[in-house]
Structure 1
């Protein structure tokens, strides 16, 4: 209000409404807005919205499975869905109706929540903790419907439910009646905003949730007493917020949350290592413990799969911070022992070492599970897939060629040694290929996933495969083209429920068109001799800064125009594009005379006891369209055809998944050898120039 105006806002417990004493000088417009707010809150708090509406025919919720139906299973790409219609959102301010929901709406919303959102990634409550759905607090019910309406026919009500939830949450804060369900509501609203690509609003809800946790001292271990029946529920809420912070929190700025202090604790003498292994393995003893989680465990001392994914997610948050630093040209030589790269890699290996055997790839045998079994035990398999995708995303991003090409151009001290370039490029391609293999299995097992994190990982892997589409070796070039198409199709499958993935897909599409230059991308097998990488778009994809425009997402408006941050225009000038003339194929030549110091040979047999089971070299897949396997998976390679990343140790990289029967039956591929790509003049073939 202006200096001559006065207003008093009196808030009373429900079912009271807001009473406002106005000065006569209050404008007619302000009076109308306050009157509308009074009516809206009165209707919400009295629960009478449904009674005042004309009878309407109830629409049954359409399952998201209809949208996630399996479509194209061609050799070119597996896809969880065909390219679907763009999600339709109501226009900004286009609906002034009050949110209405009857008990059937809430029940359907809860069913959708436990099907698509429970433990994937957030884990706020269990069914038995909610009691009768008709007795749910209205702010929590509205938040659940705001999150789940995207999976049903009532997606057009999403904004209405979200607005009601925000109004009720703010009313509780103003009245000083914040309880556990209030913070849970904010957690759901935050996740919903991230799915919608509204990063700023999601981070606001997340930050408000964390501040309320701080006020309630939920960040202190001493608060969680055994006699508190809600103790475990509080732990789940706190670490759910941490999971969202790990994947979607802001990484730059002085006020960003320092995620390095929130390393999840490990059980004493945990699986795969002792309690004192690793220099930084200990956590602040005042921090809250992880919740009780025994899904998939074989002994009570082992952490459950959700807790394991939290620990791996913490490493992912460090990778995101590393990428943010690289984008600001803050990069110490990664091969130095005190570099951020070395520290994050150490954290990654320490966390991997602590993953219990019961959750590892070779132990659970996801590829052998039946579709019905996976649906029944979705509470386990959804976070298990999150863990697997995170496990492969970490080294993919940490070793992404783009980071070090750009870094070397801005800092002459970052001249990349051949040894580091070889290993980092091998790791990036290896784990990007593993991501594609995981995508194949997810599609084959018909596992509907909605967390945009999976779409983000697919987009990152796509950028690696795009880079190798111009490899000198034909086999690697063809493989990269095929895997790139699979990643794009998988990303598109998230578009019906996630505007964030829609924005990611548009950025990837733009980058693909720029990469092609004057060449046509309509060709089935696009085999370019060079590509053009857009630097701004690469940073957008790697950092998941895909914030959609306000015209598409009504919730984009959080700040007044006077506070809205200025978005710098896209840099289309010199230096915004990298020309990759040849990305020569990484290759390892095994020399049995080196005493076994280089790499293992094909004699390796996988076993359940091997600590590397998370990323075993043998990954059988039960593809639905698999044809009869050939007797020999590979043709005998010539010197020119030896183009694979670790061809002798991971030959499955170039095989169809249907052909992976037994790696032990493969012929010896060491008969012909050639110079490794990093020897002689081959390294000079990797050329990149600025435009």
Structure 2
């Protein structure tokens, strides 16, 4: 109604009132406003109605609005209107304010405001010299530099440096999308929303005109990642879903498309699997329209033989047949998506006995073992020896170490979440069989504690090597590990209490480091802070050594953290800057009262005994070890061997194989290269590795 009235009023206005942007009474032959000001008054010739009638008029109106967005006239008009209002008489100001919304939807702007060429949408392009909304080459250069510093292969991998080296050839929507993502890392972060809005308008224009190309879908990938970092999960999932639909239209999900090697074939592969990585970490797990995780099974599976191939990635590989480190993170990411589905089922009380061979737990664990068994030796922890690398070496080889760290964190987070004590404590309330103490309880508790400890160890190394990580996934993993250490803050063993308190603090500090660039991590930190205050109850947590006798775990907050249900505003995010208020979903507020908390006391804390002489990771058999000469020689092409011999206190200088079933653990005396006088763990005593006799082990000097 308002926009229609605005068009009629504009059509009836005289040319003088149009030029001055004032309300025209519309009298003819001369309006009273011009008569009062003694100005000439004339009207434009009447327009002939088109054959299409009202439909053609509405279509023309929509086209002109898009042209206004592209040319920058709409933005500049609003800006100039604010500036000119200061010099207009008070009565005109009142009229202008009352009519602002109507003028914003004008079908044609005043003549003086038409400073930029307007063409038909099907041929509309940016003129780099005349358009004020196309980023300048210097801005694009800064944005691309920030992208390769913070986002390249962490986790998305859309293009290489040489593919975007010519700033003038970069499409407008891709340039704006890059700046929308990277402005958070610069002093111009307040312009991120403007760049994002322009990029979205350009993308929609290409879709409407049928001119979608590869940079258009890449732009959606960048915008989706940016939305996830901002905690706008719904908008991120929309951008992701739209990108997948465009990939389907271009048949990028079929192997046949990649049969002929073209100039952008690898770029297509990188884009497709970058979208899949985002889906693995941030896709919705519930609802009829959610994407089933089984269809994304890795390419070595027979379930989906026609899937697109992974991109070529030879960084750090020791042989041509080795899978690249970024590709291995894709495989592990698929298992992580299965873990997220498992947690989602648990939150809806769909948990069966995990020890059953046909349980979801067993299926996920089987897929996990199959995936880790195919990861090349050259990417494993003991081969890379990340803890021995110099800071400068890590910085120079960031393209390798960024996805390698993602791989390591994903591995430990899978173990931690699958065996999280909270899942089975809550599950026991709905499944009586889970309330019976058994071997599974003991085993899962050991794995959760062990791998959450390893997450802290990885955090220590990231901090020590000064690696700039910005992917919210790392903050999510830190929050998950923090919940495990919070659980063990009330363990019976004093040493374990101290260790858990220290590790909990490290996880929180690491999570807080993501807050400047990610609103999603800010909300995660808030949830963790709320849960910590609830856990403390009446006890004070001001002291450094918080040693509670019991804790209270908030069930809703724990589910929010485990499922990464973090949004920046619970009242506004359901619309996601996308939906009308009439379509906004109604979300029930979580009950944070006493009935939604679990009381954990020392008596119910499981007694754990585990030999962590090998860090909870089995060493490979001799037949699995790669030949020292070939491996060392090939790896030198990308990564230099560690130049400084340092001691990894957690792993006794030679951390064993990372990817292995930790059920077969080695005694320290069985590990070569160590003094037999080193304290060992007496398994016959059944004591935990945190007990007084064992906790002094140099394995944990760094904690």
What TM-score does the superposition give when structure 1 sets the normalisation length? Answer: 0.76
The partner residue of 2:545 within 493, 504, 525 is 525
Unaligned runs of 5+ residues in structure 2 are: 5-53, 71-97, 119-123, 627-641, 654-661, 690-703
Partner of 2:701: none
Contact 1:587 1:646 (8 Å CA) reproduced = no
Structure 2 contact 65–107 (Cα < 8 Å) conserved: no
1:307 maps to 327
Counterpart of 1:202 in structure 2 is 236
What SS does the corresponding residue of 1:438 show, helix, strand or coil? Answer: helix
1:576 maps onto 2:588 in alignment: no
Name the CA distance, whole Å, in 2 between partners of 1:662 and 1:187. Answer: 49
Query: Cα RMSD (Å) of the superposition?
Result: 3.8
3-state DSSP class of the match of 1:204?
helix
1:285 equivalent to 2:305? Answer yes
Residue 358 (structure 1) aligns with: 378
Measured after TM superposition, the shift of residue 673 of structure 1 is 1.8
- 1:224 Cα offset (Å): 1.2
Structure 1 residues 43 and 211, CA, compared in 2 at 3 Å: closer, same or farther?
Answer: farther
1:582-606 deviations in whole A, cap 9, x for unaligned?
253543378xxxxxxxx99999995
Aligned residues: 573
The reply to whether residue 567 of structure 1 matches residue 587 of structure 2 is yes
The answer (yes or no) to whether the contact 2:574–2:584 under 8 Å persists in 1 is no
Instruction: Give the Å deviation of 1:299.
Output: 1.0
C-alpha deviation, 1:265, in angstroms: 1.1
Q: Could you tell me which residue of structure 2 aligns to residue 479 of structure 1?
A: 499
1:109 aligns with 2:143: yes
Query: Are 2:455 and 1:435 aligned?
Result: yes
2:103 to 13, 29, 32: 32
1:78-97 equivalences under 5 Å are none
Task: Find the aligned partners of 2:114 and 2:332 in 1 and give their Cα distance.
Answer: 44
C-alpha spacing 1:357/1:36, structure 2 compared with 1 (3 Å): farther
Q: Give the structure with the larger helix fraction.
A: 2
What does 1:649-664 correspond to in 2, within 5 Å?
none
Structure 2 residue 351 is matched with structure 1 residue 331? yes
Partner of 1:76: none
Q: Say whether residues 1:587 and 2:608 are aligned partners.
A: yes
The answer to whether the 8 Å contact 2:452/2:485 transfers is yes
Partner of 2:391: 371
Report whether the alignment pairs 1:492 with 2:512. yes
Evaluate the alpha carbon distance shift between residue 251 and residue 401 of structure 1 in structure 2; reply closer, same or farther with a 3 A threshold: same
Q: How far is 1:581 from its partner?
A: 1.0
TM-score (normalizing by structure 2): 0.75
CA distance in 2 between partners of 1:16 and 1:490 (Å): 46
Q: Does 1:222 align with 2:293?
A: no
Confirm or deny: 8 A CA contact 2:617 2:665 kept in the other structure.
no
Question: Which of 228, 236, 239 is the matching residue for 2:273?
Answer: 239
Match runs of 1:444-463 below 5 Å: 444-463=464-483
Distance 1:40 1:333 in 2: 69
Cα 1:169–1:664 shift into 2, 3 Å: farther
Question: How far apart are residue 569 of structure 1 and its match?
Answer: 1.2
Does the 8 Å contact 2:667/2:680 carry over to 1?
A: no
State how far apart, in whole Å, the 2-side matches of 1:333 and 1:196 are.
37
Q: Is the Cα contact below 8 Å between 1:18 and 1:41 reproduced in 2?
A: no
Offset of 1:283 from its aligned partner?
3.9
Paired residues of 1:588 and 1:648 also in contact (CA < 8 A): no
Secondary structure at the counterpart of residue 185 of structure 1: helix
Q: Does 1:669 align with 2:681?
A: yes
Who is 2:487 aligned against?
467
- For the residue of structure 1 that corresponds to 2:269, the secondary structure is helix
Selected match of 2:286 from 252, 269, 278 = 252
Question: Aligned partners of 1:671 and 1:421: how far apart in 2?
Answer: 19
Q: 1:675 to 1:119 in 2, by over 3 A?
A: closer
The verdict on how the C-alpha distance between 1:135 and 1:498 changes in structure 2, with shifts beyond 3 A counting, is same
- Structure-2 change in CA distance of 1:667 and 1:242 (3 Å): same
Contact 2:377 2:383 in 1 (8 A): yes
Partner of 2:58: 8
Partners of 2:452 and 2:481 within 8 A in 1: yes
Q: 1:385 to 1:40 in 2, by over 3 A?
A: farther
- Once the two structures are superposed, what CA deviation does each residue of 1:422-474 show, in whole Å capped at 9, x if it has no partner? 00010000000000000000000000100000000000000000000000110
> For residue 262 of structure 1, what is the aligned residue in structure 2?
296
Number of the residue aligned with 1:133: 167
The correspondence for 2:421, drawn from 393, 401, 408, is 401
Aligned residue for 2:146, secondary structure, equals: helix
Paired residue for 2:209? 175
Match of 2:525 in 1: 505
| CA displacement 1:115-169 (0-9 Å, x = unmatched) | 1111110011112223411221000000000000111111111111111111110
* Secondary structure at the counterpart of residue 32 of structure 1: helix
Pairwise CA distance, 1:225:
2.6
How far does residue 218 in structure 1 lie from its aligned partner after superposition? 0.8
Mapped to 1, the partners of 2:140 and 2:599 lie a distance apart of 53
Q: Deviations over 1:10-67 (max 9, x none)?
A: 4879996689xxxxxxx966653334998899689664687687xxxxxxxxxxxxxx
- Per-residue displacement from partner, 1:551-589 (whole Å, max 9, x unpaired)? 998994221110011110121345310000125354337
In 1: Cα distance, 2:507 partner to 2:475 partner:
9
Question: Are residue 535 (structure 1) and residue 555 (structure 2) matched?
Answer: yes
Matches of 2:421 and 2:364 in 1, distance apart?
A: 17
